[in-house]
Each structure stands twice: as C-alpha cells, then as structure tokens.
C-alpha cells in the first residue's frame, strides 16, 4: 500500500479537475494512480473493479520506461494501447503518480498529449504535495 496521502480538500479539487477533463476529452474513465498501484482518485466508469487495471497500468508504464532506456530514449513520456472497443493512455504526473485514461473506440483523441499535459499542470498546481517525495507525505 502507498504511503501517499492526500487531504480531503485536495482530493475534492483533484476529482473536480479530473471530472472536467473527462468531459472535455470524452473519456469513459480517468484514474490517478500511485506507482505502487494504489488508486488515489477516479472519475467515470468502466464497469469493473479498477484495482487490477491500476496495478497492471503501473507495471506496463514501468516496462515501457525501461524499454525507452534500452532504446536510448531516456524514458518514454507515455504509453498507449488501442483495441477495437477501448483504448488506454497512461502518462506520469511527476515522479510517483500516473494518469490512466480509458476511452471508447479504437483510437485516442487528437492531441491527447497536449490535453494530458494541461491536466498534469493543473493537478500539480492544485496539490503541491504531488511534487514532493511521497515517502514524506502524511495525513
């Protein structure tokens, strides 16, 4: 379990930002996940328990990061998968958090990287603790 903590007023602010983002990019579901797989916040619905998805998303992003290093990229900035019915976009929020976004259909929204970057900036501005070492965060 994560040692990451978010105050109630911060959690409400995060959910409001994520809800507005979900509506603007027409996502089905967006979750903020600690790199240990713990769900910090979630909005929308995918009709299943998101916990295994959170854990697998962090593992997938970690693997992609290592592949990026192997290929001389340093690390990849995001990971995405597209299927026939759903697509997923995973991107970091600072060092210890990830945004996992689920969309209906077989492609991601145009300019998803730009929209994601704006949400990350708003989240970090709204909750400065996101930029701190999470091992030092407390209730």
pLDDT in tens, 89-111: 999 998 889 999 999 999 999 99
From the list 36, 38, 39, the residue with the least C-alpha distance to 15 is 39
H/E/C letters for each residue in 17-28?
Answer: HHHHHHHHHCCC
Phi first, then psi, for residue 43 (nearest 5°) are -140, 150
For 8-130, give the CATH class. Answer: alpha beta
**Average pLDDT of 61-82?**
90
CA distance 90 to 114: 13
């Amino acid at each position: 379990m994560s040692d990451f903590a978010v105050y109630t007023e911060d959690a409400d602010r995060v959910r409001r930002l994520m809800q507005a983002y979900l509506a603007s990019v027409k996502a089905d579901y967006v979750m903020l996940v600690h790199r240990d797989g713990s769900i910090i916040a979630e909005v929308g619905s995918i009709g299943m328990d998101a916990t295994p998805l959170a854990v697998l998303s962090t593992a997938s992003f970690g693997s992609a990061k290592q592949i990026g290093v192997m290929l001389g990229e340093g690390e990849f900035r995001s990971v995405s998968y597209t299927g026939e019915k759903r697509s997923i976009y995973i991107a970091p929020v600072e060092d210890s958090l990830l945004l996992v976004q689920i969309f209906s259909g077989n492609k991601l929204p145009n300019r998803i990287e730009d929209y994601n970057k704006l949400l990350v900036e708003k989240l970090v501005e709204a909750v400065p603790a996101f930029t701190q070492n999470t091992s030092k965060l407390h209730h």
